[in-house]
Amino acid sequence: MISPALIDALDRWLDHARAIDGVAGNTIKAYRADVLGFLSFMQGHFGEAQGLAAISRIGVGDMRGWMAHERGRGIAPRSLARSLSAVKSFYRWLSEREGFEPTAVLSARAPKFHRKLPRPLAEDAAREMIDRVGLQATEPWVAARDEAVVTLLYGCGLRISEALGLMGRDLPLPEVLRIRGKGGKERIVPVIPAAREAVARYVDLSPFEPEAAAPVFRGTRGGALAPRAVQKVMEQARLQLGLPATATPHAMRHSFATHLLARGGDLRAIQELLGHASLSTTQAYTAVDAAHLMDSYEKAHPRR
């Protein structure tokens, strides 16, 4: 049995991550599950209840045993790396407060895995997607709404939750928006004229009057527009355009970043626009651009 003191420490760490670091609710749930799984393994591994004193004695061999156990359960390398990251964060926080040496846990190496590259659309496909989305609905205001949302995803690099989180108080859209993204982190995002115009057209056609505390984008019954509605209209559009299943709302955000980079955009600036906490996340787009370059090279070089 995991000791009450250790459970209390875990809860205090999660409260700290939520309040001080601004970690999102879903991430907090994942952290809790990851660390509890680790502590449960250590309980069986040592054959005794895991309290604060026991947890401080974890060694390199114990960490290897846990990771081997997780791999044996079929846990994918990416998921194991995420669990290890959560365990390290908790252990570092706990060691600072309890005064024990955390090196054995912090030195554990994450398993190697191939990062999935973002799957952006080509520039012409992204434009065609926006145009096609605006032709799906029979009601003009719904068509204008869908086109406005997808234009924001591609034109401003917003996540779908961020676009649908815009409120009436944000209207009319300014040249620059303050967006609160993952973990409550705020960033400044320029709004291109095409996006401002698309949203203004939707607002003019919408049967619902904008309200400061209500979402800009409404469903047909007046409630907040659900992400699934946007996903569905994009699914219909991609089938008509012959685009792959990866042509999703999030792919429009990937396309925004990839096309900026291809046109000479600064990687640090793109990181800020996307709201990535780490530059390494944004650097995935350099791999996409390099892959596209090599593909063009292979197809066009006369000595291929």
Residue 114 within any structural domain of the chain: no
- Per-residue pLDDT tens for 235-250? 999 999 998 888 888 8
**Which pLDDT tens digit goes with each residue over 95-147?**
988 888 888 888 888 877 555 555 778 888 889 999 999 998 889 999 999 99
In terms of domains, do 63 and 166 share one? no
pLDDT digits (tens, 9 = 90+) for 139-177: 999 999 999 999 999 888 888 888 999 999 999 999 888
Residue 294 is part of a domain; what is its CATH number? 1.10.443.10
DSSP code for 136 = T
* pLDDT at residue 48, as a whole number: 63
Which pLDDT belongs to residue 113?
58
CATH of the domain at 35: 1.10.150.130
The pLDDT tens digits of the residues spanning 244-269 come to 888 888 888 888 877 777 666 555 66
Q: Can you spell out the DSSP letters for 237-286?
A: HHHHHT--TT-SHHHHHHHHHHHHHHTT--HHHHHHHHT-SSHHHHTHHH
Tokens encoding 161 = 């939750």
Q: What is the average per-residue pLDDT within 217-230?
A: 93
Same domain? For 96 and 141 the reply is no
Percent of the chain with pLDDT strictly greater than 90:
32
Q: Are residues 255 and 216 in the same domain?
A: yes
Q: When comparing pLDDT for 300 and 90, which is higher?
A: 90
* Domain around 45: 4-106
Tally of structural domains, the chain: 2
54 in any annotated domain: yes
- Residues marked active site are found at 159, 182, 250, 253, 276, 285
